[in-house]
Amino acid sequence: MNARTITQLVAGFVLEVPDIIDTIRGADSREAAIELLKKMQQSPPRDLNIDREALQKLADEEPEA
Amino acid sequence: MSTRVHWSFPWLTALVAIVLLSQACGASALQRSAQAAQVSHALLNGAATSIDTVCDVATVEASADPATRARRCLQAAESYDLAVASLNTWVTALLVAAEDDDAVEGVRELAGPVVRQLAALADLLQTFGVDVPSVPSWLIAFAEGVAT
């Protein structure tokens, strides 16, 4: 791992700190944890916005080497 | 978070394990699991943005080897769908068990598949040239060990 990669990792982590604190504070009681879970259930990670059919056609164009 | 998620995959995967393991601040099993699930949720949203970008059809067609890239995109999409399904199963089980800390501990093993799929996604994104460090195998083993 070179110095640039280490710097990127550290910078990435530092930039995440506010989000991480929000996450920890978002479940600071049993009730808040349940609310957080309900929100996640109502808003799961979004669907991908890719054209799977077109990708499948491209994938079928030639056999894998 | 999505634009910064690339560099943070290993850090945040570690956080999922640490939060699950931590007894700090008197947090209950439910609170720790909810926090870990929330971090996983944020990582998946970031991964979705990356996949949408690198697997856009025009981008794939313009690549040096469109067929291979398209296959990798379909793999990444499958891995993403599995990760989302694993997370949804975990969250639903946590809500069912929410009133009983022992029951919440009982469903902690459902975090394992989420961690595995996040690590797989990091590796797949790396093959597209996305600046995502691999999640080290020891970390995956640690997180799975914590989960079970």
State the ipTM, two decimals: 0.76
State residue A1's pLDDT score.
42
Q: What is the pLDDT of residues A8-51, one digit of tens each?
A: 445 554 555 555 556 555 566 788 889 989 999 999 999 999 99
State residue B1's pLDDT score.
39
Distance CA B95, CA B105 (A): 12
State residue B99's pLDDT score.
86
A52 → closest Cβ in B12, B44, B77: B77
Report DSSP letters for B39-83, one per residue: HHHHHHHHHHHHHHHHT-HHHHHTSS-HHHHHHHHHHHHHHHHHH
Angle (nearest 5°) at CA B116 between A15 and B85: 95
Tokens for B139? 């970390």
Query: Is the CB of B56 inside 8 Å of chain A's CB atoms?
Result: yes
State residue A60's pLDDT score.
93
Q: Is the pLDDT of residue A3 over 60?
A: no
* Amino acid, res. A28: D
Tokens for A30? 């049993």
Query: Is the CB of B148 inside 8 Å of chain A's CB atoms?
Result: no
State residue A42's pLDDT score.
94
Q: Which residues of B are less than 8 Å from A45 in CB distance?
A: 41, 44-45, 48, 83-84, 87
Task: Please say whether the beta carbons of B76 and B125 come within 8 A.
Answer: yes
Site from A25, A58, A60 to mutate, B interface, most B CB atoms within 10 angstroms: A58
A33 → closest Cβ in B30, B48, B84: B30
State the average pLDDT over residues B1-9.
Answer: 50
Query: Is the CB of B130 inside 8 Å of chain A's CB atoms?
Result: no
CA distance A17 to chain B (A): 10
The region that residue B22 occupies, defined by phi over 0 for left and psi between -120 and 50 for alpha, beta otherwise, is beta
Site from B57, B78, B100, B107 to mutate, A interface, most A CB atoms within 10 angstroms: B57
Helices B66-97 and A30-42, packing angle to 10 deg: 140
Task: Please say whether the beta carbons of A20 and B35 come within 8 A.
Answer: no
Site from B31, B69, B87, B117 to mutate, A interface, most A CB atoms within 10 angstroms: B31
State residue B3's pLDDT score.
43
Q: What is the pLDDT of residues B108-133, one digit of tens each?
A: 888 888 888 888 887 888 787 766 66
Distance CA B56, CA B60 (A): 6
State residue B8's pLDDT score.
57
The set of residues, in sequence order, having a beta carbon less than 8 Å from that of B64 and lying 6+ positions away, is none
Nearest to B132 by CA among B144, B143, B120: B120
Displacement of CA A11 from its chain's centroid (Å)? 17
Q: What is the pLDDT of residues B28-76, one digit of tens each?
A: 888 888 888 887 888 888 788 888 888 999 999 998 899 999 999 999 9
Distance CA B125, CA B80 (A): 11
Q: Report residue B59: phi and psi, to 5°.
A: -65, -40
Tokens for B102? 């022992």
